[in-house]
Amino acid sequence: MVYNTMIKNILAIGAVGVLLAGCKAGGDNPGREYAPNMYHSVAYEPLSQIMDEEAGNIVNSLDGRKGEFFNSNKFNPNWMNMREPAPNTVRRTRNGMLPYRLPKDSLAVAARVLKNPLDSTAAIVGEGKVLYEMYCDHCHGATGAGDGKVSDKFAGVPNYKSDALLNITEGHIFHVITHGKGLMQAHGSQVSQEDRWKIAKYVKTLQK
């Protein structure tokens, strides 16, 4: 009886060791994948194109559909995942805004020449308020007084109600959101042009 128990324990330990060894990864070896659908995206990936519909069948977790690694878009020419834009075209937003090209050191120009293309409607200001609370409130505070929750950690957050800033233009605010200034980092890659203009519109309402 004792001998049988010892054999069972040895076999159990050996099985656990084999399983753990299979998890080891290194170099080009990713190790054993016990849930491949957690590691391999089945979405279209623009910089890769696997056209073999059987690719990945051995680790398929997609209920018997095409191989898990197949990721081509059959509705595009040559099953491409990403198509190039038409020649000589420039991307525009739904409102026709062209990409913003003024460099960071052009704040004075931006403040003078940029005009907000959005109307001062209640809807636009309301959307600006939501965006302000999402991106700006934590530093600049709910009223724009520079007293947000993290302002005590970073001295120098500007107070929009101060005499020095009361007359800044919406173009000034838009440019600073885009490129950053002082402690503030650039937000042009996180906030769309239209949303930056909405925030600028709302900030001016806080100053009134």
pTM of the shown model: 0.59
Rg (CA), the chain: 28
Q: What is the pLDDT of residues 1-12, one digit of tens each?
A: 666 677 777 877
The ranges assigned to domains in the chain are 40-86, 104-206
Q: Is the domain covering 104-206 a CATH 3.30.310.50 domain?
A: no
Contacts of 184 (CB under 8 A, 6+ apart): 139, 176
pLDDT of 60 reads 63
Instruction: Tell me the β-bridge partners of 181.
Output: 184
Cα–Cα separations (whole angstroms), residue 93 to 100, 154, 184: 11, 35, 26
Residue entry with tokens 């965006």: 131
pLDDT of 111 reads 96
Higher pLDDT, 198 or 156: 198
Structure tokens at 204: 């001016």
Q: What is the secondary structure of 191-204 as a DSSP string?
A: S-HHHHHHHHHHHH
As a whole number of Å, the end-to-end CA separation of the chain is 88
Return d(Cα 203, Cα 121) in angstroms, integer: 14
Structure tokens at 41: 């995206």
* 3-state SS, residue 181: strand
Structure tokens at 176: 């600073």
* 3-state SS, residue 26: strand
Angle between helices 122-135 and 193-206 (to 10 degrees): 100
Q: What is the pLDDT of residues 111-162, one digit of tens each?
A: 999 999 999 999 999 999 999 999 999 999 999 999 999 888 888 899 999 9
Contacts of 47 (CB under 8 A, 6+ apart): 82
DSSP label at residue 92: -
Q: What is the pLDDT of residues 27-75, one digit of tens each?
A: 677 666 666 666 655 565 667 788 888 887 776 655 556 777 788 888 8
